[in-house]
Amino acid sequence: MNAEGAQPADQLRPEGPQNPEGTRRRRRHWLRLAWPLLVLPAAGGFVAADTWLVRPSDEVLAAETDMSSMCERPFYFPEAPAYGGEGPHPVRVFAEAPGGGDDGFPVVPLHVNDRPEAAQPGWAGQDATAVQLVACAELTGETKTPRLCAEFGAGLPLAVPEYTVTLMEASTRAEVATVVLEPEAVCPTEAEADVALEAEQVYAPVPAAAYVEALAPYVE
């Protein structure tokens, strides 16, 4: 899709109702997902920097993992190609690691064989120096449920997370869109949850397809 023609994120869906049992730090619009979702309580957080703090990265852009620094520090990569013109617009998606800690924002693998062939280069197959957009998914809230996930010992309570995804131009850090993702209340598998021994709850997982659906208007 033409970058200038993408529908603003705050017009995609009406804002959802407040839930007194959940926590909400911010939202723009809602995507109710029909997929499972994972992530554990976060200690870090996406850096939404004031304009005067934003600066070029100290690193030379060489690999996609370098771009995760845009989620943790007020950096951008001036050598990255500008976001504009006809798509596809290559993107990399990073999501806050389960439980926070030193893992930061790992890259989210995107499986897009079902997307139109002409659009697929926007999701995969491009090296880091061709990437125009970076998406940072921050855990910004959760809603507790009465459900217990029996896969984990005697059963751990299930919480539904809220992820705020900020889509930025890699070359300037200009915000392109912000979307909020919430999954259905589905227990994760053991592999998805990667639960610590001291964990008090598990989180429903967010599938890669959810990010693709939310970001497609800006990438394709």
Domain ranges of the chain: 3-13+24-219
Q: Is the pLDDT of residue 22 over 90?
A: no
The pLDDT tens digits of the residues spanning 130-148 come to 999 999 999 898 899 999 9
Q: Is the pLDDT of residue 210 over 90?
A: yes
Q: Is the pLDDT of residue 190 over 60?
A: yes
Please give the residue that has the higher pLDDT: either 200 or 62.
200
pLDDT value at residue 2:
60
Share of the chain above pLDDT 70, in %: 70
Mean pLDDT of the chain: 76
pLDDT value at residue 64:
72
Q: Is the pLDDT of residue 218 over 80?
A: yes
CB 88 within 8 A of CB 132: no
Q: Is the pLDDT of residue 213 over 90?
A: yes
